[in-house]
Each structure stands twice: as structure tokens, then as C-alpha cells.
Amino acid sequence: MTAPLSTQRSETVFQDFKLPLHRDAAVAEANRCLFCSDAPCIQACPTAIDIPQFIRKIATDNVHGSAATIFDSNILGMSCSRVCPVEVLCVGSCVYNHLEQPPIAIGKLQRYATDLAFENGWKFFTAGPSTGKRVALIGSGPASLAAAHQLRRFGHACTIFEKRSTVGGLNSTGVAPYKMKADRSLDEVEWILSIGGIEVKTDVSVGTDISLTSLEKDFDAIFVGVGLGADTALGVPGESLAGVHGAVSWIESMKLGSVGMAAVQRAVVIGGGNTAIDAVRETLGLGIPSVTMLYRGTHSGMSGYSHEWKAAMEQGAQAVWQSVATAIEGNGRAQRVKCVQVDDHKAPIAASDFTLQADLVLIAIGQSKLASMLSSLSGICIDKGCIRVDTNGFTGRDKWFAGGDCANGGKEVVNAAAEGKAAAMSINHHLMGHHAHA
């Protein structure tokens, strides 16, 4: 199904940033939960996991039941327990935040339950009786996996088409390794696929190796979960020098192979979003002595999560605010980044030029959108590079549904899981003759 992972991956040097809970600590933490009737934590979870319920079951040592509650809402509950920004979702909504007490460690409790489920090989779901219907899913990331698993529970056959040789989408290729490594992502993929009846075809590029029209002809429904595309280019001289990489591409190389950082002494990461912060923390973790984030905005205006940047600073990261790169220079290889300061309107400030020394430059200013692959299909609307869908993932063209980053523009794994499941529910209505779309 997928090529085996290299044992020489650079990501293997990383340790968990958030250590897991053991039984006694998990039970003690679960017993702190107030089991709120209005449960603001549930409202903050895109997959609406019944958080008080799964925590109560941990408190009573019913970990099997706890995991069942989690997976019933979010089949990617294991990876989400590691990668979710709980600080701004469920944990950030915990009532303890208003009582001057530490909020419940919801993410760690979810990891405790789901890890035990994986370790013990617990199975919670079976495929439904065959309906004779077939669904194609483009991309093998969280949205497609969530959709495929739910569709199998309904009894529909599924085929996932993945252009890479590695499945799992960004969970495998892009998640920071101090949160989750690629092998753990593949464990989750295998666990999800164990429901049976989901065929995965890797190294197949839809639109090139197989046409959209043939998919439409051969399948009863199609779900598009292709994520985002290549790193956005900076558009300055020297961008093609050795040592200059798109951050997403570099992170994938680091997670799936070896990036050889021994000779790198100074790195500059350009951008201020979560990918930029991940790149900063990863380069520091690989032993690069000096890592600087160059961002055109202010500290308070950065799109990356503040708790992630705080962790980066604790590791030794530096930042240069309200500044942009104008050129990358070097003799065949990056050696320095020419910069200029900008004002609040992002306009260059006269005579404010300066230089940052760098033998590694990572550009994290965004990714291209892949929705244009559907532009030849009438009835599908592309809005600002994203596939426009209704609340159930329906595109407006018969048979076609979408979810995840290609539709939402780039959110969290938990959003992709929620959208994939919602689309699966809608696809089932469509296939069984209900045709219910919002």
C-alpha cells in the first residue's frame, strides 16, 4: 500500500514535547473534571467529542469505553490528541480558566485513552452490509480517511487515490515531529483501514494518471480531500540558491528522510504562521545554533499560535519583526538574507536595510491551492483558490464532495476530520436516494 519509511529520518531525534500521562495521573486528572452540563469544551471541538463523557469513563477506569466515545465522534482521535491546538480549542474553553485553576488536560487524557486502544488492538467499528455503491476519494489525508471510514460503516466501497507513495497527508509529511512522527501517523492509517473495504492506490495523480471524467463515470460519488499545494514562492533574487527551501517541502524531507543539518550554523525562517513556527522549532531541535524568524508583521499580529511561539522562544528562537527579505545572496549557496524594515502598512522604510547571515533559509509564507484541478467541471465553484462547498461538503455538482484544506483554506487536522465525516454523511444520503444538502 505504501513505501516503508526510512530508518534514517531526521525526525527521529525529536522527543515528545508533551509527555503522555500514566494511569494514576490520568485518573487523578480525570477526577478534577467538573462534568459541566453545558460543556463549553464540546462546543469548542470541531468534531464535537463528548469530552465530559470520555473523561468520566477514564475516572472510573473504563478506558475502553472512553476510547469508544472519542472514536465515535473522531476516528482520528489518536492523532488529534497530539496535534490539536487544544490551548485555543477544548482546553482554552475549560471553565477552570475562569476559576484561576489549571484547565483540564483534555488532550493528554484523550491521548491516554486512544493510545491504550492502539496498544491493545481494540476495534470499535465494523463495515456495514454492502450497498453496491463505490466512492472515490482523492488524497489520503485526514479528511479522506475520516470520510472513507464513515462510508464503510454505511457499507459503501471506497478507493483512495494518493499521488505520493506515503499515505496520511500532512499527518505523515507535515506534522511537527515533537508532536507526532510519521510512523505513528501510518499506525493510525493502518488502524483506520482495518475496518476493511478501503482500497488505497498510491503513486496515482488524479488528472494525470486518471482523469476526472473517468472517476465520475466509474464511481457513484467522489470526495476531494487533496489538501494544499506547493510552498508559495517569495519572489526575490537568490531564491533558487542551494540552502533555500519552501518550509513545507523541507519539513516533508526532514520527516521522511535525512536533511543533513550538521554544517548549518544559522537559519532564517521567513513567515509568521504556524508552519513558520514549526520550522523554527524543528531547526532548533536539529541542533542549528542560531535560528531567526523574519516576519513582516508585529508580534501581536502574527497568525501563528502564541503558545507555540512561546515554546520556540524557550528553545532559543529569535525574531525580527516588521521586516521583509529583499534578496538572498551567496556564492552558489545561501549565505545571507538582505532585509528591509516595513511600516504598519507593510511599506518599506527608507534607509532601514540590514542583513541576516544564513546558510539555511526556509520560506513559510503560504501554500498554493489545488482546487483548480476541478476547474474543468461545471457546477463546481472555486472561490479564492478553494472549493466552495455547503455545510455538508457538497460542491454543487452531482456526485462531487470536498473537505479539508482544499475547501477550508488550511485549518487543523480536527477540522479536516469533521468535514470528512460530514461529507460522508451527505454522500450516504445522496447514494441512498435522500439527496439532502444544506
* Domain identity same for 235 and 357: yes
* Domain identity same for 144 and 95: no
Instruction: Specify whether the CB–CB gap between 165 and 2 falls below 8 A.
Output: yes
Which of 349, 367, 385 is the C-terminal boundary of a domain?
Answer: 367
* Domain identity same for 341 and 394: no
Phi and psi (nearest 5°) for 320? -120, 115
Which of 95, 120, 145 is the C-terminal boundary of a domain?
Answer: 120
* Domain identity same for 56 and 114: yes
Residue 6 lies in a domain: no
* Domain identity same for 235 and 217: no
- CA distances 273 to 2, 115, 201, 244, Å, are 31, 29, 33, 18
Over residues 216-260, the pLDDT tens digits come to: 999 999 999 999 999 999 999 999 999 999 999 999 999 999 999
Residue 279 lies in a domain: yes
Q: How many residues does the chain have?
A: 438
Residue 264 lies in a domain: yes
* Domain identity same for 235 and 363: yes
**What cell does 398 get?**
452531482
Residue 2 lies in a domain: no
* Domain identity same for 362 and 379: no
Over residues 43-90, the pLDDT tens digits come to: 999 999 999 999 999 999 999 999 999 999 999 999 999 999 999 999
* Domain identity same for 237 and 327: yes
Residue 438 lies in a domain: no
Which of 56, 90, 120 is the C-terminal boundary of a domain?
Answer: 120
* Domain identity same for 160 and 254: no
Task: Name the pTM for this structure.
Answer: 0.96
For the chain, what is the domain count? 3
Residue 84 lies in a domain: yes
Give 266's strand partners. Answer: 290
- Measure the CA–CA gap between 138 and 268, rounded to whole angstroms: 35
Give the domain range for residue 261.
231-367
Over residues 4-52, the pLDDT tens digits come to: 899 999 999 999 999 999 999 999 999 999 999 999 999 999 999 999 9
* Domain identity same for 222 and 236: no
Q: Could you report how far apart the first and last alpha carbons of the chain are, in Å?
A: 36
Q: What pLDDT shows up at residue 322?
A: 98
Residue 7 lies in a domain: no
**Maximum C-alpha span of the chain:** 71
**What's the CATH code of the domain at 149?**
3.50.50.60
Q: What pLDDT shows up at residue 371?
A: 87
Over residues 383-427, the pLDDT tens digits come to: 999 999 999 999 999 999 999 999 999 999 999 999 999 999 999
Side-chain-facing half-sphere of 344: CA atoms under 13 Å? 1
* Domain identity same for 328 and 219: no
Which long-range CB contacts under 8 A does 238-243 form with residues at least 24 apart? 238/327, 238/328, 238/329, 238/330, 238/334, 239/328, 239/363, 241/328, 241/330, 241/332, 241/333, 241/334, 242/332, 242/333, 242/334, 243/330, 243/333, 243/334, 243/358, 243/359, 243/360, 243/361
Residue 57 lies in a domain: yes
Give 291's strand partners. Answer: 267
* Domain identity same for 349 and 400: no
Q: What pLDDT shows up at residue 235?
A: 97
**What cell does 61 get?**
477506569
